[in-house]
Amino acid sequence: MKLTYKFNNDEKRLDIERLDYLSPLDTEIYVREGDTIYVKDGDYLYINQLIKESTSGIKTYATISGTVELKDGIIKVINDKSDSSFVSEEAVSKIDEVKKEEIIKRCESLGIDYENKLIVNKLKGNSRLLIVNAMDVEPYQFNNNYLFQDNVSILLDTISLISKRFNIDAYLLLNKYDDNNVNAVKKVIRNYSDINLKVIEDVFPFNTNQLVVKKFFKEYKYDDILFLDTFALYKIFYAIKNGLPVSERYITVNLGDPNKAYVIKTKYGANVGEMIKETIKVDFIDKDIYLNNFMRKVKCDNLDSLIVTDNIKSVFIFPKEDILPSKCIKCGKCVDICPVGINPLAKKLDSACIRCGLCNYVCPANINLISKEK
Amino acid sequence: MEKGFFKKNKILGINLLYILSVLPLIIFGFYKNGIVVYQHDFISLLLALQYLIIPIVIIILSYVFETYYYMGTKKEEDTNSVVNSIVPYVNVLCYLVCAPNDYLWLTIPLIIVLDVLLKFIDSKLAINQIALFKGILFGVMTLMNNLNYANLYEASLSSQVTDPAMLFIGNGIGAIGVTSSLCALIGYIILLFNSYYKKDIPIVAFIGYAIVSIIMYFVGGLSFNDILVNTFNSGLLFALIYVASLSTATPVIRSGRIIYALLVGVLCAISVNILNMDIGVYIVILVLGLLSPIFDKFKLSLGE
């Protein structure tokens, strides 16, 4: 599958291969202090069965069926490959019949979150605008793109439903270069009078939520906006329609080739290292591994201890970098490129820094400028 | 790794472009002060060749010293700092502003010793080492040459060139590499290929210089010819293109850069056209270069 993508003023045509890793050997969940655990060692779990709840109310469910192993603060579910699933009695045939209170109730009971914050707080609050950012915020990442492509009509239905039930304006942001999604939405958008389509140039990092508001929605305060990405919207849809959590997630993997990427559909809790070894058949010896945004230069030492969560969006496995940082030549490129207009060379990093990593990317001296403390 | 993600050693490429950009000036300096003077039997062939040999020796010695400093003194295991050092380029610039006279071989130890001294006090005093280095060297060279920049052939002539076109090509009296504005412009075109070169500084500075010069034309009674002669005779373009825009000694914030460049242009115009002081261009750049951390504090809304 080919996709046009623009990065750093460079328009590319990417070859993207889609892969599935839906039956991992096991899934793991890390238990943190204060978490309420609903399972015990030896229990048999069905898919969608509640495993734990965090102090902030975010819930974690089983994404595979199998036996529980509790060890060293990790809840492990050993896959029995039967895909036995817990069925909710709350499923509805049509989502447009669901009332506002029911939407809130379902999102609350499933603990649906976006960027580690419960969505229900925003739904219950006084949000004045709904913005669904269907673009992938980080560079060279195509998860939102593909999830949207696979579920165009149901996601549009969900946006429309939230807009109607909560009486707020809704905007859908699409990437100008994402021909498939733009064309698919344009064909049907006239059926959704309450959705405003905004096709924008996806130039990193101007599609981050903060910068989108600054650029296109100046009249709104950031806190008054209910922001969702495709995944959060899909979780809401699934909660309304089936009364169940979503167990699958897309992750983009890049092996250092800007013209080729892999989008892997997998289960929450699956081991990232195993997933990549099984699907793409690569090893990680003598490689530099970066998560989500390679420009931040935050290296991941061990992929084998990493599990799929909402925070893992992409994995970049690059050949080991043999260029060490050298002395700053004060070329000022980092200052020129900074999207929020701060000076990354300052001794202490400005709190306005959005950690996009563009300064790192342009730095000829290979200095990690955002590693300084804010 | 492929082009697009992190690129290979970028600074090496940047430095190669810097060195490439001064080649026209070195070659012209060799022609004007070596070949032409040799052809008129004022110097031997060996002395003529020194204008080609000395810059090469300076580059090699600079790298040797950088290797000693980073790998010997600072115990760095990687050669990156050496390969990426901008010092050889700066040292060649220092050579180019020397006068073409008997003291020329002294420039090599002088450049290296000064570089060593400043390198060691740089980290302790947190000063702008390159800016100070340039300034001290220019000052010392000026004193040594007693403001006499004519080579032996030029000194024998009864009159100086005053045709602006000839001065633009480089036939005026001046330091080894600064007389040819044409070569400096060729160097600027080469530097435009270096995306890390602060290409806005020479342009803004020249605009500032031009505005003040035009005011002098209307108010100060200077003729257009005088202004052109002063401009090309002072090595202004060399100073703006190579010295004023040197990345390590200039502000990094765009608005700071623009204010710095404008001030450079304005003060250079006063120095060249009113005070008739060519060395003033370097004094202006030195002082403003040392003040570059202050310019970095300006955050005016100039497109930022």
Where do the structural domains in chain B lie, given as residue ranges? 1-192, 198-304
- Residue A367 in contact with residue A328, Cβ under 8 Å? yes
Give Cα B134 to chain centroid, integer Å: 9
* Spatial separation of the C-alpha atoms in residues A92 and A98, rounded to whole Å: 8
A331 to chain B: which residues are within 8 Å by CB?
Answer: 14, 196-198, 247, 252
Taking the C-alpha atoms of residue A197 and residue A183, their distance in angstroms, rounded to an integer, is: 12
> What is the C-alpha separation between B112 and B101, in angstroms, rounded?
19
Max Cα-Cα span within chain A: 64
Chain segment B53-110, per-residue pLDDT in tens: 999 999 898 888 888 888 887 777 777 778 778 888 888 888 888 888 767 788 788 8
Alpha-carbon gap: B184 to the closest alpha carbon of chain A (Å): 21
Residue B119 touches partner A, C-beta closer than 8 Å:
no
Give yes or no for a contact between B285 and B133, defined as CB atoms under 8 angstroms apart. Answer: no
The model's pLDDT over B94-128, given as tens digits with 9 standing for 90+, comes to 888 888 876 778 878 887 777 777 777 666 655 56
CATH for A95-242, among 3.40.190.10, 3.40.640.10, 3.90.245.10, 3.40.50.11540?
3.40.50.11540
Q: How close is the nearest chain A Cα to the Cα of B7, in Å? A: 9
- Least Cα distance to B239 among B290, B190, B187 occurs for B187
| Sequence ranges of the domains in chain A | 2-22+250-319, 28-79, 95-242, 327-374
CATH topology match: A95-242 vs A327-374: no
3-state secondary structure of A103: helix
Q: Which of A258, A336, A365 has its CB closest to that of B4?
A: A258
Buried/exposed code over A34-43 (b: 16+ C-beta within 10 A; e: otherwise): ebeebbeeeb
d(CA A191, CA A213): 26
Cα–Cα separations (whole angstroms), residue A182 to A3, A134, A227? 12, 11, 20
pTM greater than the 0.90 cutoff: no
Burial of B214 per CB tally in 10 Å (0-12, 13-18, 19+): middle
Among B7, B8, B10, the residue to mutate for chain A (most A Cβ within 10 A): B10
**Which of A239, A227, A20 has its CA nearest to residue A134?**
A227
Q: Is B199 on the interface with A (CB under 8 A)?
A: no
- ipTM > 0.85, yes or no: no
Asked if residues A299 and A288 have their Cβ atoms less than 8 Å apart, the reply is: yes
Q: Over the stretch A166-217, which tens digit does the pLDDT of each residue have?
A: 999 999 999 888 888 899 999 999 999 999 999 988 777 777 888 888 889 9
Query: What pLDDT, in 10s, does the model give residues B274-290?
Result: 877 667 777 888 888 88
DSSP, collapsed to helix, strand or coil, labels residue A317 as: strand
Question: For residues A110 and B133, what is the distance between their CA atoms, to the nearest angstrom?
Answer: 66
- Tens of each residue's pLDDT in chain A, 374 residues: 666 666 666 676 778 899 999 999 999 999 988 899 999 999 999 998 999 998 888 888 999 999 999 988 899 999 999 988 877 777 788 888 889 999 999 998 888 888 878 888 888 887 889 999 998 888 888 898 889 999 999 999 999 999 999 999 999 999 888 888 899 999 999 999 999 999 988 777 777 888 888 889 989 988 889 999 999 999 999 999 988 889 999 999 998 887 889 999 999 999 999 999 999 988 888 888 999 888 888 888 888 889 999 889 999 998 887 667 777 888 888 888 888 888 888 877 777 888 888 888 888 888 888 876 54
Task: Answer whether B1 sits within 8 Å of A321, measured CB to CB.
Answer: yes
Kindly indicate the confidence band of residue B205, based on its pLDDT and cuts at 50, 70 and 90.
very high
Which of residues 5 through 44 in chain B touch A, CB cutoff 8 A?
5-6, 8-11, 14
For the domain spanning A327-374, the CATH number is 3.30.70
Residue B254: its chain A contacts at CB < 8 A?
332, 335-336
